[in-house]
Amino acid sequence: MNPSPSSIIFGKAWLYCTVFLTGAAVMVIELLGTRLIAPFYGASLYVWTSLIAVTLIALAIGYYLGGIWADRARSGLSLIIAASGLLTLIIPWLTGPVLLATDPLGLRLGSFVSTLILFSPSLIMLGMVGPFAVKLSTSALANVGASTGSIYAVSTVGSVIGTLFLGFYLFPLVGSREIFMGLGVSLLILAMAVAWIERKYLNKSITTMVPTALLMAIGLGLYPAIASSGEAEFSNTFQTRFERESLYGWVRVIDKPKENIRLLTADASTIGAASISHGENLLTYQKIVAQIPHLSSNIEKALLIGQGAGHMVATLNKAAIVTDTLEIDLAVAEAASKYFDFIPTGDRIIGDARYEIRQLKGPYDLIILDVFTGGTEPTHLLTVEALTQLHNLLSEHGILALNFVSFLDQGKNPALASVSRTLAQVFSHQQIFISDPGSDFNDFIFLATNHAINLNDDLIPFSDRTWLKQRLLDIDTTHGTILTDNHSNLELLQIRKSEHYRRMIVESIGTRHFIR
């Protein structure tokens, strides 16, 4: 007997709804994956590469296994979805142990292996949904090509909607751990609905309902344990004053009372440090800012890109310099005001620098580019094109100050050489200073101008001249490359730096500081 039109429509509807929702779940897991991994390994190209590769690997395996299962058994779609829900639900709970176990593998291999362990099981199960749905759709519609195309089209549309909904609406309002748990529970509920349809309309065995219900019960039972695992655990050595998961990272203010230190961190980077008792700046490299007003006359207006805790604004304010600040993360700006007493002296801009600097008019007498910290680096801000944009905002005698964290390597580090060669494409003069002459791993301050800076100028106080000359540096640019929007290998050149910096932070604060 041929199926009725209503049953055909219902068969399409529930299948399309299922693949739409599971398609959305795939992208939610992929996008949220970086928010669990980034605090530990950084939101670098390697983390994103690992997530994309693992997603594709898992889906390929899921498509293959799903096709085999669908050919051998006409029931089980609800069980597949339920398994994906449970595996998604436990991801936040497994994150800590997995990241700790993969830590010795280093940045690239560690991020890939941890991503593979955490996300591939649930993604494999979600990948199995498509072939199973095609099998069910084909038996009802007897049109293999159209059925397959429509199933995967709807699944892809679900992925698109899931991506937009997560990025534009859900994530700004809800934390990543809560989204993971909500997604897991939602998949379990979907599995229950599919099991009911399989039993009532497709005449499948009731046994599919039993494991689905069991998995859901186990998953919901795990919820309190998973939720509690996200609580911050600090000894009396550390006190978390502020914690916010923003669109760009995990922002924290951490006090170390015994050492009289207050830290502002974003994921695995320390972007501000001050004494708890008096609030004075503890980052040595920022002391050079106090010297800059002596290097050029009539500096009245400055732009700081990468506000951090805002100490440089206060320093410039002492020299009667008004400073506009540009910070990508609203949570960082909030923490700076509340816990580091940051008071803006100029315009306060929140946004991505490459976009926002196109909106600025200038001119600025001084631009400070302070975004290349010990952690993940926004390499798109250190290219010929980006520096040209900043150059166009400078006044005739303006100065660009750029802070860069790396190794000295006896002046032969290719990363430092690349920065220098790239600056030379835009500015005719540059001078390089090292923050701590006694250390190989260091902050390096590049001053780029279109005019020569004379450190022997009598306008510069003698003590400042001495301080600067002791830190003046020559580097070998032979092995450097010119960084452009089209090609930048800066992340590759800075792998050793990123791993060394993370080890330093781990020794100072502890590994669990970076685990969500």
Each as own residue / partner, the long-range contacts of residues 232-235 (CB below 8 Å, 24 or more positions apart, any chain) are 233/512
182 with 46: CB under 8 angstroms? no
Number of domains in the chain: 2
Same domain, 195 and 295: no
Same domain, 110 and 191: yes
Same domain, 189 and 302: no
pLDDT score of 201: 63
Residue 93 domain boundaries: 5-229
Same domain, 300 and 188: no
pLDDT score of 4: 47
Q: Which of 210, 229, 248 is the last residue of a domain?
A: 229
Q: Which of 229, 244, 273 is the last residue of a domain?
A: 229
Strands in 301-305's sheet, in edge-to-edge order, are 348-350, 322-327, 301-305, 364-372, 394-407, 441-449, 429-434, 472-473
Same domain, 292 and 222: no
In a domain, 110, yes or no: yes
Question: Does pTM top 0.75 for this prediction?
Answer: yes
Helix (H) or strand (E) holding 294, with range, is helix 292-295
Same domain, 211 and 311: no
Same domain, 131 and 218: yes
Same domain, 205 and 298: no
Same domain, 198 and 317: no
In a domain, 336, yes or no: yes
pLDDT score of 203: 59
pLDDT score of 332: 92
CATH code where residue 381 lies: 3.40.50.150
CA 26 to chain CA centroid, Å, is 19
Same domain, 487 and 403: yes
Strands 301-305 and 322-327: parallel
Q: Which of 191, 212, 229 is the last residue of a domain?
A: 229
379 with 488: CB under 8 angstroms? yes
In a domain, 234, yes or no: no
Same domain, 434 and 319: yes
Average pLDDT for consecutive 10-residue bins of the chain (516 residues)?
Answer: 46 83 92 81 79 94 90 80 90 87 84 93 93 75 69 88 84 79 89 82 53 53 47 62 83 90 86 89 82 84 93 91 93 93 93 89 92 78 94 93 93 94 95 90 93 80 80 90 91 86 77 65
In a domain, 261, yes or no: no
In a domain, 152, yes or no: yes
Same domain, 179 and 297: no
In a domain, 513, yes or no: no
